[in-house]
Amino acid sequence: MSNSVNPLPAQPCAAEFIAASRTNGAQAANAGNTSERWGQKNCRRNLSDPIFLTKPRSSRAGNAAASSLPRHLLALLLLTLLGLSACTRAAEPAGKLRVLTSFLPVYCFTANIAGDLAEVENLLPANVGPHDYQFAPRDLRKLSSAQLFIVNGLGMEDWLAKAVKASKGSKTATVIEAFASVPKTNLVTELPHIHLPGEHAHHHDGGANPHLWLDPTLAAQAVTNILVALQKADPKNAAGYAANAARYVERLQALDADLTTALAPFKSRRIVTYHHAFPYFTRRYGLNLVGVIEEVPDVEPSPKYLSALLKVMREQDVKVIFTEPQFSPKLAQRISQDVKVPVAELDTLETGPLKPTAYEEGLRRNLNTLLKHLK
């Protein structure tokens, strides 16, 4: 694995991508096909010895001719035949591109682009999220067998540095950040904060929230970025990757349109989530995220913080608390009893079955949950 992450240049938005992808992909594929034909042509030129251009004789005549050949000519014939075999193998297509992904959303994006043109494997088990994962030496085998390693980036895979360190001296995959091309102006750096009594102004460290995949329009930008990486690594299949990506982006656009239409009546509706996983989702669909239960994942809030959160929820008439499947709902249920509002579950899609449609299905489940509890 290269010790430096390879950022890719800024890519077009989802709408521009559909119009351009087929043309660009076809050009890249033609270049790959030309290179392949050139190699096969030169391979045949090297085998223009007259012995391969004559019409084969009958077996008896051939045996007689072979027996009368001097030994050095027989040796030359054997070497030429071996060269033909090697050249034929060289002209055969290489094995599929091997791609490793970090966790579920990145797997879904990559698998839909790859289709059956590349082999896509996920590093994390289906039931383990990136916050809980611990890189183990045994995972080095997956890294060493892949050519590309697609990650979310923005600190989501905070164990990546350990993986890079463990792979020193080994030939491992090139790391590609899926959201590297998203402009900084589209990143969320300021998050809702519950101010405590006597607290000075809250300062943020400026780090971007990494949960970009929960906005389908940003997911489409990640698809474009991953597409470029796959085309660069496997140019002969560039057109196929472009066609797959265009179809997938169209599905993401349809998903975004459905979410926009269905959630339009609930704009500015106030909600509380378990931790800061949904700022991109709430920004996209006009919901008002007034606070979270845990400002730091896996760190239980202080009684002082919880008291301030309850006060804000009552003042702003919050109607529902959303938990996440990766965290215990007990604390949320206790708060729910205090403020007399229901608890429901929104999925961050960090875990789940490793299938290409899991991302879309997960967001549609979240939509159904929101429609049920925002009314």
- Confidence (pLDDT) at 327: 86
Q: What's the pLDDT tens digit per position in 200-211? A: 444 445 589 999
Query: Which of 118, 115, 151, 128 shows the shortest CA–CA distance to 1?
Result: 151
- Residues 121-130 have a mean pLDDT of 91
Q: What's the pLDDT tens digit per position in 326-371? A: 888 999 999 999 999 999 999 999 999 999 999 999 999 999 999 9
Query: Which of 345, 287, 338 shows the shortest CA–CA distance to 321?
Result: 345
At position 129, the amino acid (one-letter code) is: G
Q: What's the pLDDT tens digit per position in 261-316? A: 999 999 999 999 999 999 999 999 999 999 999 988 778 899 999 999 999 999 99
Cross-strand bridge partners of residue 177: 151
Per-residue confidence band for 171, with pLDDT thresholds at 50, 70 and 90? confident
- Confidence (pLDDT) at 297: 79
C-alpha angle 178/128/150, rounded to 5°? 20
Q: What's the pLDDT tens digit per position in 224-255? A: 999 999 999 999 999 999 999 999 999 999 99
Kindly list the structural domains of the chain, giving each domain's residue range(s) and its CATH number in brackets, ordered by start.
14-36+96-257 (3.40.50.1980), 52-91 (no CATH), 263-374 (3.40.50.1980)
Q: Which class for 186: exposed (0-12), middle (13-18), buried (19 or more C-beta within 10 A)?
A: middle
Q: What is the CA radius of gyration of the chain?
A: 28
Q: What are phi and psi of 289, to 5 degrees?
A: -85, 105
- Confidence (pLDDT) at 162: 76
- Confidence (pLDDT) at 93: 44
Per-residue confidence band for 152, with pLDDT thresholds at 50, 70 and 90? very high
Instruction: Give the residue, 193 or 204, on which the prediction is more confident.
Output: 193
Per-residue confidence band for 194, with pLDDT thresholds at 50, 70 and 90? confident
**pLDDT reading at 10 higher than 80:** no
- Confidence (pLDDT) at 304: 93
Q: What's the pLDDT tens digit per position in 56-110? A: 344 444 444 444 445 544 444 444 444 444 443 333 346 999 999 999 999 999 9
Q: What is the pTM of this model?
A: 0.74
Instruction: Give the residue, 237 or 53, on which the prediction is more confident.
Output: 237
CB 211 within 8 Å of CB 219: no
